Amino acid sequence: MSDHGEVAGDGQWGPPYLLYLGQATDDLAIKTARGLAFWRPEWCVGQHRHLDCRYTLGLPDMSFEQAHEAGANTMVIGTANAGGVMAPETVADIVEALNAGLNVIAGLHQKLRDNPYIVAAARRNGRVLYDARDFTRNIPVGNGRKRAGRRLLTVGTDCSVGKMYTTLALERSMHKRGLTADFRATGQTGIFVAGGGIPVDSVIADFISGAAEWISPAREDGGWDLIEGQGSLFHPSYAGVSLGLLHGSQPDALVLCHEPTRRHMRGLPDSPVPDLKRCLDANIEAARLTNPAVKAVGIALNTSNLSEHEAQAMCREISGRLQLPCEDPVTMGVEGIVDSLLACCAN
Amino acid sequence: MSDHGEVAGDGQWGPPYLLYLGQATDDLAIKTARGLAFWRPEWCVGQHRHLDCRYTLGLPDMSFEQAHEAGANTMVIGTANAGGVMAPETVADIVEALNAGLNVIAGLHQKLRDNPYIVAAARRNGRVLYDARDFTRNIPVGNGRKRAGRRLLTVGTDCSVGKMYTTLALERSMHKRGLTADFRATGQTGIFVAGGGIPVDSVIADFISGAAEWISPAREDGGWDLIEGQGSLFHPSYAGVSLGLLHGSQPDALVLCHEPTRRHMRGLPDSPVPDLKRCLDANIEAARLTNPAVKAVGIALNTSNLSEHEAQAMCREISGRLQLPCEDPVTMGVEGIVDSLLACCAN
């Protein structure tokens, strides 16, 4: 579905998908596949895993040939290999999948296109390879000019606090209400879920806000672009990505995502997690540069490390303190946040 | 002097330099060459220009062979060609310079390494090509950990307001006072002046703060790293670069650079230039994430569009309002700012 970061073949990558679990030995290794199976079950015809893989997504187990016969277009490699190195077994599996007629897409640090065996197999079979982290398309520099359409961006106190999940939950809820809304992907899993997008942390630094403008162009149909946030303005490693995304998105509405038991910024033991109010204020202040009318419409809390009672109490406390709906999208849904969005930003 | 973005030859690029003016028809086209001639006159053995070039840097005019005989190591191409396309005459000149034994470095959008004639000539002659905008070296992601040493960063209300000039003026002044201080380059002209650095707007977005950490590593000699700023937190196209640079630099001291007659952000007629106080506060607030002790030590004003009287009055007014020294580095020097730096940050 996309034309960048690719070795081109006869067709295009896209669903239906075969999800590759391989030899996954922990939950993190199948995070991308799980995201696809959860958010786009209708796109996932099966899973492929080794005999010693203890994980399952509850999909039919298929060989590459079986998947191709069942209509799969593309195999998705989402496993995080130790040290970012692709295991020889994975390379062999990818070659076999290409031989069976599948396109292959991946979000690994090690690129498909850098492996000569994989590239040769793709060329031989006329298949497409797509590396979601490898963004080479030319896009314009951001221009900051106000464009038509309404946009919501999820922002976070930290990385990996549920921004993609929250954004997709908002899309699902809005669709159920009959509203027009489209998830706009900025990370690898999101791109596979959306069938397109830009991995905004992988563009050249000068083009961060341009990438955000490119994935959510002017729209005149009254619908919403729901843009997947990345990182945090308070993460010392990645805040530049978050700020460029914030400026380029020109959001009318922000949802702040937070994981309340996190003790420090992801990967940085010496960096404390910012206070919610301070984080929200900083995002609003920065967002005003390209959209002075920006409003916060809710807080999405990842309460997976809390008891149900604790989670409910914390949501109430935060909601009262910040005067915004506060919900865990997984256990409580996002109806309060969508209500707030519609109340704030109806036109 | 650097090992990235290169076609490798027998040696290394670096001074002595021959400055290529070519057919430059406006002042902007020789901006890089002028910067080198001004800040590193001892490195510049001559200039090369066509007969119809009306500009001069006051250096001896030399053929490529003459420059090589005079000891030039490297020819510097700093001209901005219309539309970013390299003129056929420029390509021919570069090939001739390589044939004469010079290495060639450039900061053009169009890469030396993408031109087959230039690459072939470099290989044939064993010469180095270096594209300052083409950063391919692997650097780590920023970690935000406090490191030894003292750092000053120039920040701006906008792009192109004098950040490189101010940083180099601070270096020159501190050297005159017998202080240890090193200019750290983040843009193409600065890299040629410093003989190294990282074009921070050209790294992959995830590595902006990592690039800043890399160019100003821990130092134990009591000296200062003076880091060239880029863009502006208030520029809708490039603020991500500015924020990552701010976080990665962990500055102890900030100098805010400003051009008081600019009516809108560079290239964006609809975007107003931020108020000085607001801009300084936003930079201080963001910088505290990685260095809570950060202080503003001065304002550098580009008063080239004002009369001397207007310039003096404006500096006094701003200095009184912000309670910081305010000087035009070109016409007034930076002694007040260096005094303020030493008073604020002596340890």
User: Are residues A169 and A271 in contact, defined by beta-carbon separation less than 8 angstroms?
Assistant: no
CB atoms within 10 A of CB A109: 14
- Name the residue in chain B with its Cα closest to that of A212: B237
Range of the domain at A31: 6-131
| Residue A300 Cα, gap to closest chain B Cα (Å) | 24
Q: Which two tokens stand for residue B31?
A: 């901006």
Residue A293 three-state SS? coil
pLDDT by residue for chain B (347 residues), tens only, comes to 344 457 777 789 999 999 999 887 777 678 889 999 999 999 999 999 988 888 899 999 999 999 999 999 999 998 756 556 788 889 999 999 999 999 999 988 788 999 999 999 999 999 999 998 887 778 899 999 999 999 999 999 999 999 999 999 999 999 999 999 999 999 999 999 999 999 999 999 999 999 999 999 999 999 999 999 999 999 999 999 999 999 999 999 999 999 999 999 998 998 999 999 999 999 999 999 999 999 999 999 999 999 999 999 999 999 999 999 999 999 999 999 999 999 998 75
What pLDDT score does B5 carry? 59
CA dihedral A224, A230, A234, A236 (to 10 degrees): -160
What pLDDT score does B27 carry? 73
Q: Which residue has the tokens 């700093």?
A: B78
Per the CB < 8 Å rule, is A205 touching B209? no
A221, A294: one domain = yes
- Report CA B289 to chain centroid distance, whole Å: 25
A296 pLDDT higher than 80: yes
A49 pLDDT higher than 50: yes
Q: Per the domain annotation, does A13 fall within a domain?
A: yes
Facing A142 at nearest CB: one of B145, B146, B237: B237
A341, A210: one domain = yes
B164, B27: one domain = no
- Name the residue in chain B with its Cα closest to that of A248: B236
Q: Which residues of A touch B143 (CB under 8 A)?
A: 236-237, 267-268
Q: Which of B131, B158, B179 is the last residue of a domain?
A: B131
Q: Which of A97, A131, A165 is the last residue of a domain?
A: A131
User: Are residues B97 and B65 in contact, defined by beta-carbon separation less than 8 angstroms?
Assistant: no
A307, A252: one domain = yes
A177, A233: one domain = yes
What pLDDT score does B324 carry? 98
Helix axes B276-287, B239-249, angle to 10 degrees: 50
User: Tell me, what CATH number does B108's domain have?
Assistant: 3.40.50.720
One-letter amino acid of A341: L
Q: What is the mean pLDDT of chain A?
A: 93
Q: Per the domain annotation, does A137 fall within a domain?
A: no
| Residue B346 Cα, gap to closest chain A Cα (Å) | 26
B47, B165: one domain = no
The domain total for chain A is 2
Q: Which helix (H) or strand (E) holds B325?
A: none
- What value does the mean pLDDT take over residues A189-199? 94
What pLDDT score does A106 carry? 92
What pLDDT score does A52 carry? 85
One-letter amino acid of A329: P
| Residue B90 Cα, gap to closest chain A Cα (Å) | 25
- Name the residue in chain B with its Cα closest to that of A204: B204
Q: Per the domain annotation, does B158 fall within a domain?
A: yes
Q: Which of A131, A163, A178 is the last residue of a domain?
A: A131
Interatomic CA distance for residues B178 and A72, integer angstroms: 70
User: Tell me, what CATH number does B297's domain have?
Assistant: 3.40.50.300
B192, B284: one domain = yes
DSSP class of A73 = -
A227, A264: one domain = yes
Q: Per the domain annotation, does B332 fall within a domain?
A: yes
Confidence of residue A2 (pLDDT cuts 50, 70, 90): very low
Per the CB < 8 Å rule, is A245 touching B243? no
Interatomic CA distance for residues A132 and B112, integer angstroms: 28
What pLDDT score does A84 carry? 60
**Dihedral-angle region of residue B323 (phi above 0 means left; psi in -120 to 50 means alpha; beta otherwise):** left
Q: Return all residues near B65 (Cβ < 8 A) that are at least 6 apart.
A: B100
Q: Which residue has the tokens 């003790």?
A: A263
A156, A286: one domain = yes
DSSP string, A265-278: STT-TTSPPPPHHH
Q: Per the domain annotation, does B177 fall within a domain?
A: yes
Q: Which residues of A touch B237 (CB under 8 A)?
A: 141-144, 206, 209-210
What pLDDT score does B1 carry? 37
B161, B118: one domain = no
Interatomic CA distance for residues A66 and B154, integer angstroms: 60
B176, B319: one domain = yes
A74 pLDDT higher than 90: yes
A1 pLDDT higher than 60: no
Burial of B84 (0-12, 13-18, 19+ CB in 10 A): exposed
Residue A237 three-state SS? coil
| Residue B147 Cα, gap to closest chain A Cα (Å) | 13
What pLDDT score does B80 carry? 59
DSSP string, A135-185: -----PPP-----SSEEEEEEESSSSSSHHHHHHHHHHHHHHTT--EEEE-
Interatomic CA distance for residues B298 and B275, integer angstroms: 15
Q: Per the domain annotation, does B44 fall within a domain?
A: yes
What pLDDT score does A3 carry? 42
Q: Per the domain annotation, does B164 fall within a domain?
A: yes
Q: Per the domain annotation, does B247 fall within a domain?
A: yes
B11, B91: one domain = yes
